[in-house]
Amino acid sequence: MIKYKRILLKVSGEALSEGHGIDDAAVKRVASQIKSVVDLGVQVGVVVGGGNFWRGRQNGTMDRATADYIGMLATVMNALALSEGLSACGVENEVVTAIAMDKIAKPYFLPDVLEYLEQGKVVVFGAGTGSPYFSTDTASALRACEIHADAMLCAKNIDGIYDSDPKGNPDAKKYDSLTYDKVLKDNLKALDLTAVAMCREYGMPVVAFGMNVENGIVKVVCGEKIGTTITR
């Protein structure tokens, strides 16, 4: 039984890489997981990050807006790579970008996006929100609300949300479920807090889970309890 019939999937740039840049095998793994849910009849929008190429916050001497625009371009490269991977799997898809670059992708226009989804196409969103000072987590929350997704799924490098960084604290506690208020109050930074606030505002459920979990996306859309769920 399918719990979520339309999803917004946030995929980190690192999920498409084996360190830096784009790795064909990694792209294929992500595309295959997406195909599995498309084959179930789920409508899928995907926001991709750009961390495998660029993290603007690590370049403190650069103007923030400039760094963020560079990051947006990185997400477009990843969107094109994922689109190619989806096409190779036989999944129809469209790449749309918040910053117009009509030679390589279609501009973001919500009525077109909704039509693509109804046609069963995966929509891959590039260039974040198109504005600096907003993360791709926030872009994901925005797109999830705009397309009226049933849930926002965040495929992470770890298997959920913890009370502290599990890489540095072996005693870190993993949460199975959280409220938006708890995430914001405790400043749990597994997700951008602006994105969490937007999801709270519009009642958008969030599921954060490990990208490397076998059939993880399928398990989430079918209602299996994995990762961490954030709701009211």
> For residue range 14-35, what is the model confidence (pLDDT) as tens digits?
889 877 899 999 999 999 999 9
Strand boundaries in the chain, DSSP class E: 6-11, 43-48, 93-97, 106-107, 122-126, 151-156, 161-162, 174-175, 177-179, 206-210, 228-231
Share of the chain above pLDDT 90, in %: 81
Domain membership flag for residue 177: no
Domain membership flag for residue 141: no
The radius of gyration of the chain from alpha carbons, rounded to an integer in Å, stands at: 16
pLDDT tens-digit readout, 69-106: 999 999 999 999 999 999 999 999 999 999 999 999 99
Tokens of 102: 């009509």
Domain membership flag for residue 143: no
User: 124-133, 160-169, 179-188: which range is least confident on average?
Assistant: 160-169
pLDDT at position 190: 79
Residue 15 CA, distance from chain mean position:
10
- Model confidence at 117: pLDDT above 90: yes
Domain membership flag for residue 176: no
Strand boundaries in 12-159, DSSP class E: 43-48, 93-97, 106-107, 122-126, 151-156
Tokens of 104: 């390589």
Rounded-to-integer distance, Cα 111 and Cα 107, Å: 11
Residue 42: how many CA atoms within 13 Å on its side-chain side? 30
Rounded-to-integer distance, Cα 231 and Cα 228, Å: 10
61 band by pLDDT with thresholds 50, 70 and 90 = confident
pLDDT at position 57: 62
Token pair 């938006």 is found at: 180
Domain membership flag for residue 139: no
Structural domain count, the chain: 1
Domain membership flag for residue 52: yes
Domain membership flag for residue 161: no
Domain membership flag for residue 32: yes
pLDDT at position 5: 97
pLDDT at position 58: 60
Domain containing residue 74: 1-131
Q: Whole-prediction pTM value?
A: 0.94
- Model confidence at 59: pLDDT above 80: no
113 band by pLDDT with thresholds 50, 70 and 90 = very high
pLDDT at position 11: 94
